[in-house]
Homo-oligomer: A and B are copies of this chain.
Amino acid sequence: MLEKISQAKVFGGWHQQFTHLSKVVNCSMRFAIYLPEEASSDNPVPVLYWLSGLTCTDENFMQKAAAFKAAAKLGIAIVAPDTSPRGKEVPDDADEAYDFGHGAGFYVDALQLPWKTHYQMYSYIVGELPDLIEAHFPVSKLRSISGHSMGGHGALVIGLRNSERYCSISAFSPISHPIDCPWGTKALSHYLGKDIELWKQYDAVELLKQAMARLPILVDQGEDDPFLASQLKPDLLLSAAERSGSDVKLRMQPGYDHSYFFIQSFIEDHLRFHAGFLHNQERAES
């Protein structure tokens, strides 16, 4: 059951927040949705799923990304889930660090105790959440996926592994190669255990090396991002894409950092990128 906890009109459409009891992550989860004015049961709109980064909730993108004007114009809904299970019953990092546990689900299905009881964000994003959205809102089954930082990693991995479920993929400042950076190795070793072979299915660089991407991918990266060299490594993404002949467009943006000020500067490009593929598919199916 969905419980609506807020609603505000924005650019003619509606921003709403809901909570629901998730079977997959085994606790109450909050998400936000933006529905453009034109969305109705007679006119279901496609959906962009947005995955946020470390420490974020459903609110960061919705409040700071300045995405609604373009989404309203392009006729696209946006769904922003939380970045992890939360609550007193959900285990957290022992030191309450920002980069593991609450706010840092890393979009994986955990295999290790005590994490695996709740940290099943991969299956939540791929299956349970879109099923819920498509059952309760005036949206079609056409989806694209995007995200930022840890959420850029999530969008790439989920889109690459489930190409039949999405029309296009994009990312801002993604953690491209989590099996070889501090944020990634901390999270993957705890959630998945020591076997690095298990980590590779959650690594965009490894996935792009193994097989040609079936979906188009747009990536924006700020050149003055303090995490660029140590955590993000988009150059590895590009070389893996070239190796497999994948359609990855990486745009290095001079002067921009890791913040939502960077995201809001280019989010319209991403929305137009996704809208092109979503509406093309819509026309093909009608």
Interface residue? A69 (CB, 8 A): yes
Contact between A10 and B264, CB atoms less than 8 A apart:
yes
Contact between B64 and A257, CB atoms less than 8 A apart:
no
Contact between A10 and B68, CB atoms less than 8 A apart:
no
Name A265's contact: one of B11, B259, B261, B264 (CB within 8 Å): B11
Give 14 new A-B contacts, CB below 8 A, not counting A9-B255, A9-B265, A10-B262: A8-B256, A8-B257, A8-B261, A9-B222, A9-B224, A9-B256, A10-B261, A10-B264, A63-B64, A63-B260, A66-B66, A66-B69, A68-B264, A69-B268
Interface residue? A15 (CB, 8 A): yes
Residues of B within 8 A of A257 (CB): 8-9
Contact between B224 and A261, CB atoms less than 8 A apart:
no
How often does this chain occur in the complex, in copies?
2
Interface string of A1-16 (1 = CB under 8 A from B): 0000000111110010
- Chain A residues in the interface with B (C-beta under 8 A): 8-12, 15, 63-64, 66, 68-69, 222, 224, 255-257, 259-262, 264-265, 268
Main secondary structure of the interface of A (DSSP, over half): mixed
A223–chain B nearest beta-carbon distance, Å: 10
Residues of B within 8 A of A268 (CB): 69
Cα A224 to Cα B15 in complex, Å, equals 15
Contact between B10 and A265, CB atoms less than 8 A apart:
yes
A259–chain B nearest beta-carbon distance, Å: 5
Cα A260 to Cα B10 in complex, Å, equals 9
Residues of B within 8 A of A8 (CB): 256-257, 259, 261-262
